[in-house]
Each structure stands twice: as structure tokens, then as C-alpha cells.
Structure 1
């Protein structure tokens, strides 16, 4: 049986040089995002979301990016879930994209705020009906008896919304991560990876620096 420690891969697809990046990390992300889309990466919008409690206990999970602009990066969830509770206590988070096909990572550290009611409503109503019903049925992150309990809850909600308008529950909506640091990581040979970091400055604009791999 092969040793876990022996599992390794040498990266050699691309480079990342200071003179090749844009002055704006959102434009740089847009360039990489478009290349990821064109590469037909499966679940290209999947990203790790790391949060922590007020006591500093960390947790992480995969969520899906649902939009971005120069205000930040948006995802949606149950506000009463573990991540929602942690973000209420400590509104800071880290996002991480890993596009292994391009040997790239993007790490985003920032402050978190809820998106507007209008934004949450618009996205919720764009979801498939099953996902809308699921948002009502599932008490996300809470202990439940078994799978049957959840399936019965879905049936109850299906019946309920046969006679009522299906709207967004108040406990469900979007968050926006407003970056203060964005790092672009390009895999290179012999683990001498390229790492370019943008740091938001108090006077505005972004400071660009190379990090050691």
C-alpha cells in the first residue's frame, strides 16, 4: 500500500508574475474566473467557507459562489445554520477556491454582511421549487431524528404551499464577503509556487506583494 506521504504532484502549467497582474484584484479574479469557466471545470463556483465562533473555534464547509463584483463575493444559506450563527458572533470569513485543473487557488479574507432583502428575494425566487421548499423544511445544522423526519417535513411544506404563495423564509438569505486580502496562488515546480497578495489600504487602493511559497 502506497504511503500517504508519498502522494505528490509537480505543478508546471502556468506562471504568475507581478508585471502580469492587474492593479485591481477584482479584475484579476475576473480574468482567472473566465479562464476557469472556459476550462469547463466541474463546480467551478464551489469554494470553501471558513468561519469561527466568538471563542475562535474554526469550522469550514463548501458553499457555492452566486455572484461577485467590487462590493464582494456572495453566497446564500440558512441564517440559523452553524455558519450563520458564527457569522452573527464573528462577521469575518475566509473563502478559498481550488481549481486543480489550472493548478490555481484564490484565497479571500474579509468582513461579512448580509445582502439586501431584495437581493435575497430575487435569488430565492430564481431557485428550483424543490430547493425553495427545502429551505423551509430543513432546520439546517440542527440534530434531527432520521431521514424520514426530513422527508415528512418536505411533504408538509409541499402541502402547505399548494394553497399559499411560496416566498423566501426570513431565516434564509445571502451574505457578502467584503475582501481586505485576496491572494492568487499559481502552482509551480518543486513547490516554488507563485503567490501574489493584494491588501486593501486604509486610504483606498490595493497593495500588491509577492509571498514566499
Structure 2
């Protein structure tokens, strides 16, 4: 456990954000254009897991939950991720499709937040992606009943070896409990760190067939 002096020092941890600002004149009319540009820059900067996003869902009592998931595809229809359909997040989205995504590109002093609704992908889309994964990842999808309680890691490792032997020949079949979601979005917010905590924030909100852009106070 940290001592009291270490805990007191947390309040004083800060740094200046100096990598540049974001101006209204530089914004494209479509949020996905800026998102693609920023994602490419995150990849080019060799950030660890540039496609990692925090996925927030809410249970039936209104309790929010968050976890990190990898973005696997995006286009005008939305942002796509895959998961075990028995997982906590999948159960939440069955009852309440409202969802929030956050891309925390700290090293570039940037964040992107997406607010929208999630819908299940078609089986065809899921199969196509599933068989593009490394074979061991396909087998790994069979192993875990995501979010369920287990007594030891060895249970997972033994199950993996068992299934690896079972699927030694031929194609690994798609598990019935594995699928994906597409997040169609109505809002996308871009945050760029600024000096003296004067950060730049711009919110895109869908307005019919166009996007309304507002600058937000930091």
C-alpha cells in the first residue's frame, strides 16, 4: 500500500499539453473523416493498441460498466467490434442498445468519444471476420464463457488444449455464442489537449442528413 506522502502527491501530478491545437477552420464536415485521419496518425505513431476503445454499457439497474475492446472495422454505417454473446456487455446491449465508446490516445494528447446505439451483426459478417482471425484466436473464442466465474486459469488452458486437439483437422466452426455489434452514432466528440488546460473540444451532432459542429468549453 502507498504511504500517505505518496497519496498526497497524486493531486500534484500533471503535465502540460503542447502538441498542438484544433481549430474550427480545420474540421471536415463529416466526423468520420477526422476520425480516420486521427486513427491513421495513432497507427503511424506506433501507439500500443491504437484501435483499443473503452466500451461503456449500462445494466438493468442503471449501473454503468466499462471495458476495453478492439475496433475491427468502421464505415458510414458505424463502428464494429466482436465479442462473446454471453458476455456482460452483450447482455446489457440486448436490453439497452445505448452505448458510448472512447478512444484514449494519450500520447497524442487526444480523445475521441462516440455516442450511439449498437445492433447485432449478421451471421455472414461474423463468419467472414471469424475465419480471418489467427487459428488459435478462433479456438480461444470457444474456450471462454466470458464474464463467468472460474476457479483457476488452468481450466482455460486445459480447455484450449482439448479444443486444439479436437479442431486439429479442418476449419474451426463459428461458435453459436460468438458475434459482433455495429455502433451507429449520433454524436462524436474530438478532444485535443491544449496549454494551460485550455483544451480544444468539438462536438459533431447529426442534424438530418448533415452534421452540426459546436465548440465545447474545456
Category of TM-score, reference length = shorter chain: over 0.9
Residue equivalent to 2:162: 156
Asked if the contact 2:39–2:51 (Cα under 8 Å) also holds between the matched residues in 1, the reply is: no
Counterpart-to-counterpart distance in 1, 2:198 and 2:157 = 50
Which consecutive segments of 4 or more residues in structure 1 shift more than 4 A? none
Number of corresponding residues? 212
CA contact (8 A) 2:102 2:112 kept: yes
Aligned counterpart, 2:214: 209
1:127-168: CA deviation from partner (whole Å, max 9, x where unpaired): 111111111111110011211211221122123213564111
- Describe the SS at the equivalent of 2:157: helix
Q: How does 1:1-213 map to 2 (within 5 A)?
A: 1-2=5-6, 3-162=9-168, 165-201=171-207, 203-213=208-218
Root mean square deviation of aligned Cα: 1.3
Q: Which moved more, 1:65-74 or 1:146-155?
A: 146-155
SS in structure 1 at match of 2:80: strand
User: Offset of 1:75 from its aligned partner?
Assistant: 0.8
Displacement of 1:48 in angstroms is 0.6
What TM-score, normalized by structure 2, do the two folds share?
Answer: 0.93
SS in 2 for 1:6: coil
- For residues 108 and 34 of structure 1, what CA distance do their matches in structure 2 show? 17
Rounded Cα–Cα distance in structure 2 between residues aligned with 1:9 and 1:119: 44
**What TM-score comes out, normalization by structure 1 length?**
0.95
Structure 1 unaligned residues grouped into runs of 5+? none
Superposed CA offset, 1:164-183 (max 9, x none) = 64111111111111111100
- 1:81 and 1:16 mapped to 2: Cα distance? 38
- Structure 2: where are the runs of 5+ without partners? none
